[in-house]
Amino acid sequence: MPYPLLLRTMLERARTFFPENSIMTRTTEGRFRYTWGQMYQRTARLAGVLEQLGVCPGDRVGTFAWNNHRHLELYFAAPCSGAVLHTLNIRLFPEQLVYIINHAEDRLLFLDPDLVSLIEPIAGHLKTVRAYVVLGDTVPDTTLSPVYAYEELLRDATDAYRFPEDLDENTPAAMCYTSATTGNPKGVLYSHRTLYLHTVHQCTTDVMQLSERDVILPVVPMFHANVWGLAWSAAFIGASLVLPGPRPDARAIAQLIQEERVSLAAGVPTVWIGVLELLEKERYDLSSLRWILSGGAAVPRSLIEGFDKRVGAPILHGYGMTEAAPLTHIGRLKGALDGLPEAERYRMRAKQGLLVPGLEMRLVDEEGNQLPWDGKAMGELLLRGPWMAAEYYRDERTAEAFRDGWYHTGDVATIDPQGYLEIADRTKDMVKSGGEWISSVDLENELMGHPAVREAAVIAVPHPRWQERPVACVVVKEGHSVEEKVLLEFLAPKVARWWLPDRVVFVEEVPKTGVGKFDKKVLRARFEGLFTGAP
């Protein structure tokens, strides 16, 4: 039977079968709690508001907000009414925001009250934005115009709005921009079909094991790669949601897990590094956790072991990308590996994991020849499948990344005989020393296994003899101290001799990108003259 795969049906399922399951938002005043049934009513009213404000099918609706219930309502109101949800990264530089908003041609911009001051200076450069809506009860003192208060609009909205049932499943539903090595960010447009299929695979047992009984805490921002699909998946299966609100720190996250009895949480490794450090000083009951999804950067083995021993909840490695909506691999161990020694199981769990059902992958060399899955051959990872993007939105860089029906990820990896993917590096982050490649990720993971190391970022620094040499930038844990010599001795038995960093430099913090990844280009610029004497 022909049946369109639409996000509307997910929301209606949550409303019909699980109307009493809760959605909680941490706010500056406390906690706001309501149910999927109430959320559906507000979302339908919001869709009517979009129509009254002149939003037409296909128009982009921009969001500039934290993880909260109003942002969640926009996740459904925009696409289910035929418009396109466009989540904006609140940590981008002003010139990047201007480019993205103008390139996407956003018509409306919804923003949290405490973020208004970030948009005011650039509002005059936004060519297509017709109005602003502040996600609160009233309009604050602002230079933005015209501007409305979210709750005032909903109070005056009609209850008569009905979501369209005749949308084509290939209708655009959402849009994200991914950072670029050079040039402007690149846009990825997702259809209802794309997001529906991603949701279905994500909920399966061997991927994320999602259940209506779960209480899900997405610490990953709602502006980062569709909050890893968790907003739509939660509605699809009717799970309860805990939204961490503005600026959640390690203590806020631990308190939410303890008090809301969270069963599944998701966030980048730096989040869980902070939580683990907190648990070394303060006591929290995190026994409700079934497991944690961590991605966006390589998860150190020491972090996986730390949560096993201190919390009893496994961290699963997740790997993906904006172009994949985003999940492509999950670090679950196959049944055939259950008998491995503990050390070997940890080694396997530190890999990016198995390809999720529904996708295909290849490993190729620089000439495009397929490489063996032997755990040794290193090449670029290629992906294809029904929820993979086929192009960038109005961007000539499509031709470089999407070739011969495959997406070329730019990630250098190995695949072992069991099919487990291990990312060695981004092509731009590999260290080429004396004609041979060194994986910065492997060095970072080993360094972060030292008890005194909080974070470690390894970069390639130009060298007069070897072309490049690795330099480790290390953040020491509070209350600890360690010397360069000690760290090099710690590394020596774990990696090849010529892999050892030529220098270990101690920094107060590793700079991060807008989505919490190590920003190595900043470090490379800072230390590029270390071996050449250049300023």
Whether residue 381 contacts residue 413, with contact meaning beta carbons closer than 8 Å, is answered with: yes
Catalytic choice (73, 260, 323, 380): 323
At which residue do the structure tokens 């695979």 appear?
201
Rounded distance, CA 381 to CA 389, Å? 15
Q: Give yes or no for a cis peptide into 146 (omega within 30° of 0).
A: yes
Phi, psi of 40, deg, nearest 5: -60, -45
- Asked if 328 and 315 count as a contact pair (C-beta separation under 8 A), the reply is no
Q: Is the peptide bond before 326 cis (omega within 30 degrees of 0)?
A: yes
Residue among 232, 142, 234, 137 at smallest CA distance from 191: 232
* Catalytic site includes residue 291: no
Six token digits for residue 172: 């655009």
Q: Report the candidate in 79, 90, 77 with the shortest Cα–Cα distance to residue 47.
A: 77
- Residue 163's φ and ψ, nearest 5 degrees, are -65, 140
Q: Residue written as tokens 């969640």?
A: 72
Q: Is the peptide bond before 341 cis (omega within 30 degrees of 0)?
A: no
Phi, psi torsion values for 77, nearest 5 degrees: -60, -45
Of 488, 493, 378, 376, the closest CA to residue 426 belongs to 378
Which of the following is catalytic: 152, 437, 466, 484?
437
> Is 178 an active-site residue?
yes
Helix (H, G, I), strand (E, B) or coil at 272: helix
Q: Can 499 be counted among the known catalytic residues?
A: no
**Exposure string for 66-90, b = 16+ CB within 10 A, e = fewer:** bbbbbbbbbbbbbbbbbbbbbbbbb
Active-site residue (options: 334, 432, 483, 498):
432
First to last CA, the chain: 68
- Distance from chain centroid for Cα 196: 18
Q: Are strands 172-178 and 147-149 parallel, antiparallel or unpaired?
A: unpaired
295, amino acid identity: G
Catalytic residue annotation:
178, 323, 432, 437
